[in-house]
Amino acid sequence: MSGFKSEFLKLLDERGYIHQASDLQGLDELLSKETVTAYIGFDPTGKSLHVGHMMGIMMLKRLQQAGHKPVVLIGGGTSRIGDPSGKDEQRQLLTDEDIAANMASIRSSFERYLAFGDGPADAVMVNNADWLDELRYIPLLRDVGRHFSVNRMLSFDSVRLRLEREQPLSFLEFNYMILQAYDFVELSKRLGVRLQMGGSDQWGNIINGIELGRRMAGIELFGLTCPLITTASGAKMGKTAAGAVWLNEDMLSSWDYWQFWRNTEDADVGRFLKLFTDLPMEEIARLEALKGSEINEAKKVLATEATAILHGRKAAEEAAETARRTFEEHAFASALPTVEVPAQELEEGMGVLAAFVRAGLCASNGEARRAVTNGAVKVNDRSVSDPHLVLGITDVTSEGVIKLSFGRKKHALLKPR
RNA sequence: GGAGGGGUGCCCGAGUGGUUAAAGGGGACGGGCUGUAAACCCGUUGGCUUAGCCUACGUUGGUUCGAAUCCAACCCCCUCCA
């Protein structure tokens, strides 16, 4: 599966993005001949995107790198239905206000990865609510519904699994695939889109769009999916101590984002470097060849490069430097997450447990208490064994802060104000 | 509409009157080993002003000295019948 002519497919292939495609040869042909417009759909179901969306975002980035035009489709219309794929329960329906707020909040993340504008290869963002909201039922049934066989729809994984497990599937959700297929055709008319990409779980939906395009409009569309990314030990990617790995800085700091990549499993480093950084292949090959504890070098590069794309080179290097001081020199680093507290509170005395909750390192006093009991808590790098310990102004170091540590990896600073 | 089965902690799942903040597993977190890895071993895993108190086994009420466990009504899910 190599020997592609087009720069885009070569890029995707050597970096490991290709899982399945509808007509690779035809697509390769097209991509090497003209500027192709391609899209991926994203549901505005949260305030921020997370690493689970990274594959899609990076594919669009590669597309643009190869000189083609990326379209970010926001599923403002379809997210009011909910994709039934792989879920046993119906998704909660979002209000229009939620969706609008989420869209605005997500947009800035895309701008980190893609250059938006009016040029031929500039990215654009569209919302399928713009056309789905206006659809009329009878015309839709006649124009689109006639091309869908219920027998076939029932055979798709997204539907079949629900039925087999005897989980309810509403008619609303059953329509999702029709609308997603319609999106593809509509985008081809509006923006000349020829290619839809997505995760492997979207294969069925993408194929539907391709067929609908042929039947409704006689146009030839293409589909390409990427593999579902799990860690080498099989876990779904994208969890940290703090929860999901969000892309919005206000939900996950660049420090935590850097840490997420730094903690990649050995066996994943090469793969992730290819997928999530812009480093040239030769450089990645060099890093991949490292053995044993040297792999840590590769992980640092991965963390810094991945963070630089999202939060900027400066923030990435600051995170790297903070990590170096904290973990390698066990020294003080002022760029650790810092929480300000009124100086008066410290003068009056603050319980260790409360301090850890305040700093966001523990969710409750109980958790902090257990952490102390387990010997996991340090203040100014000294172990704490007494949950009744009270921190005061005398605990403030010469740097003007109190350093709190939970375990070896989680640190924060308390700063009197 | 009728008959039966079921709703337990983040998830799965045991538990049928007190010894149950609730077995076991998964996940998560912490410790050990290491390299801020994996695997493995150990520990923790409702909240609080923690020798105690509060909240919790679909919801609401009841029986009882005492209920996740018994009773009633209601809500939701599943199976079979209409």
* CATH at residue A345: 3.10.290.10
Total domain count, chain A: 3
Work out if A263's Cβ lies within 7 angstroms of strand B: yes
At A270 the pLDDT is: 95
| Same-domain check for residues A149 and A287 | no
| Same-domain check for residues A343 and A324 | no
Q: Which helix (H) or strand (E) holds A24?
A: helix A24-33
| Same-domain check for residues A196 and A264 | no
CATH at A264: 1.10.240.10
Pairing mode, strands A410-416 and A338-341: parallel
Q: Which of these three, A334, A361, A377, is where a domain ends? A: A334
CA angle in degrees (0–180, nearest 5) for A115-A116-A119: 100
At A87 the pLDDT is: 46
Which tokens hold the place of A339?
A: 């929480």
At A171 the pLDDT is: 75
Q: Which of these three, A292, A309, A334, is where a domain ends? A: A334
Specify if A249 maps to a domain: no
| Same-domain check for residues A214 and A350 | no
Written as one letter, the residue type at A230 is: T
| Same-domain check for residues A329 and A348 | no
| Same-domain check for residues A218 and A99 | yes
At A217 the pLDDT is: 92
| Same-domain check for residues A202 and A314 | no
Note the pTM of the prediction, 2 decimals. 0.90
Work out if A97's Cβ lies within 7 angstroms of strand B: no
Contact A207, A22 (CB under 8 A): yes
Specify if A244 maps to a domain: no
Name the nucleotide nearest A240; use CA and C1': B28
Contact A75, A128 (CB under 8 A): yes
Which tokens hold the place of A344?
A: 């008066």
Q: Which of these three, A334, A358, A392, is where a domain ends? A: A334
Contact A413, A402 (CB under 8 A): yes
| Same-domain check for residues A23 and A42 | yes
Specify if A27 maps to a domain: yes
Residues A387, A60: Cα–Cα separation, whole Å? 51
Strand B contacts in A 35-64 (CB under 7 A): none
Specify if A242 maps to a domain: no
Q: Which residue has the tokens 């042929």?
A: A214
At A88 the pLDDT is: 44
Q: Looking at strand B, which nucleotides approach a protein CB closer than 7 A?
A: 27-32, 34-39, 43-50, 77-79
Burial A384-399 (b: 16+ CB within 10 A, else e): beebebebeeebbeee
DSSP letter (8 states) at residue A396: -
Q: Give the domain extent around A78.
A: 7-231
At A146 the pLDDT is: 92
Specify if A375 maps to a domain: yes
Strand B contacts in A 98-157 (CB under 7 A): none
Specify if A248 maps to a domain: no
Q: Is A239 annotated as a binding residue?
A: yes
| Same-domain check for residues A32 and A161 | yes
Residues A190, A168: Cα–Cα separation, whole Å? 35
At A161 the pLDDT is: 66
Tens-binned pLDDT, residue by residue, of chain A (417 aa) = 568 999 999 999 999 999 999 999 999 999 999 999 999 999 887 888 989 899 999 999 999 999 999 999 998 887 766 655 544 444 555 677 888 888 889 999 999 999 999 999 999 999 999 999 999 999 999 999 999 988 888 777 777 766 665 566 677 777 888 999 999 999 999 999 999 999 988 898 999 999 999 999 999 999 999 998 888 777 777 665 556 788 999 888 999 999 999 999 999 999 999 999 999 999 999 999 999 999 999 999 999 999 999 999 999 999 999 999 999 988 888 899 999 999 999 999 999 999 999 999 998 999 999 999 989 999 999 999 899 999 999 999 999 999 999 999 999 999 998
At A89 the pLDDT is: 45
| Same-domain check for residues A330 and A342 | no
| Same-domain check for residues A106 and A208 | yes
Alpha helices in A243-294 (DSSP H): 254-262, 269-276, 281-288
| Same-domain check for residues A372 and A269 | no
At A82 the pLDDT is: 60
Which position among A236, A314, A324, A417 bears the catalytic label?
A236
